[in-house]
């Protein structure tokens, strides 16, 4: 085996590029976001049709949404219903253009700033320079859907449980 270049960790195999993305960059699918025009109607539909119920609700004025998290199974992955607070919100624009439906895929990360930096380094546009407040005290950022195969990708660093 040839010696790795100086900037490569000693334990990294030499058939992998030194700048490869860490395999634990994304920890899990945290939630899937669904745009709905009317939250109360959507909550009633999901309860009556799929037996899914809200385990958390809040208003996020920064994002211009009312949201509800619905636990699926053990709740490790959740469904996030998102309704716009005003016609100017990003979510209202999505509903106007695409109608109700899948709006985003959110991955859980350990450190949203670090994950954003890794993706930015690879040429992806992150929507925010700094993390913004997300659901239940989490810190979030988004990858522009045009840089992620047409999917609005959210990065979620959960609130510290310490
Ligand atoms: N998925 C896929 N494509 C999308 C998209 C989406 N959600 N939103 C926009 N696009 C496409 C759109 O169809 C268009 O394609 C292109 O992106 C640029 O659109 O082929 P086209 O027609 O050119 P824009 O820039 O005109 O769209 P605009 O709506 O003004 O902005 C898009 C974007 C992604 C910058 C905006 O939606 C945004 O800032 N999103 C991030 C914030 C957000 O979505 N907040 C609501 C969720 S809050 C949340 O999840 C929370 C609080 N939480 O903790 O989880």
pLDDT of residue 22: 86
pLDDT of residue 161: 65
User: pLDDT grade, residue 16 (50/70/90)?
Assistant: low
Alpha carbon nearest to ligand 1 atom 39, residue: 90
Q: Give me ligand 1 centre to Cα 94, in Å.
A: 6
Using an 8 Å Cβ cutoff, are 112 and 157 in contact?
Answer: yes
Q: Give me ligand 1 centre to Cα 55, in Å.
A: 25
Query: Does the beta carbon of 78 sit less than 6 angstroms from any atom of ligand 1?
Result: no
The domain limits of the chain are 28-157
With 80 as the cut, is the pLDDT of residue 158 above it?
A: yes
The residue-averaged pLDDT of 80-98 equals 98
pLDDT of residue 1: 38
Alpha carbon nearest to ligand 1 atom 26, residue: 93
How would you class 70 by CB atoms within 10 Å of its CB: exposed for 0-12, middle for 13-18, buried for 19 or more? Answer: buried
**Percentage of the chain exceeding pLDDT 90:** 84
Using an 8 Å Cβ cutoff, are 141 and 116 in contact?
Answer: yes
User: pLDDT grade, residue 2 (50/70/90)?
Assistant: very low
User: pLDDT grade, residue 20 (50/70/90)?
Assistant: confident
- The 10s digit of each residue's pLDDT in 22-73 is 899 999 999 999 999 999 999 999 999 999 999 999 999 999 999 999 999 9
Mutate to test the pocket of ligand 1, among 29, 90, 158 (most ligand atoms within 8 A of CB): 90
Does residue 130 or residue 5 have the better pLDDT? 130
Domain 28-157: CATH class, spelled out? alpha beta
Query: Does the beta carbon of 119 sit less than 6 angstroms from any atom of ligand 1?
Result: no
């Amino acid at each position: 085996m040839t010696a790795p270049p100086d900037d490569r960790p000693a334990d990294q195999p030499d058939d992998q590029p030194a700048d490869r993305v860490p395999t634990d960059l994304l920890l899990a699918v945290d939630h899937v976001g669904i745009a709905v025009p009317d939250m109360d109607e959507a909550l009633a539909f999901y309860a009556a049709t799929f037996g899914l119920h809200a385990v958390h609700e809040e208003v996020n004025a920064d994002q211009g949404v009312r949201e509800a998290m619905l636990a699926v199974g053990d709740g490790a992955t959740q469904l996030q219903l998102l309704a716009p607070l005003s016609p100017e919100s990003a979510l209202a624009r999505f509903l106007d253009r695409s109608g109700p439906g899948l709006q985003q895929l959110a991955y859980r990360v350990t450190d949203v700033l670090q994950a954003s930096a890794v993706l930015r380094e690879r040429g992806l546009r992150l929507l925010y320079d700094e993390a913004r407040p997300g659901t239940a005290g989490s810190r979030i950022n988004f990858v522009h859907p045009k840089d992620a195969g047409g999917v609005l990708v959210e990065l979620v660093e959960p609130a510290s449980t310490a």
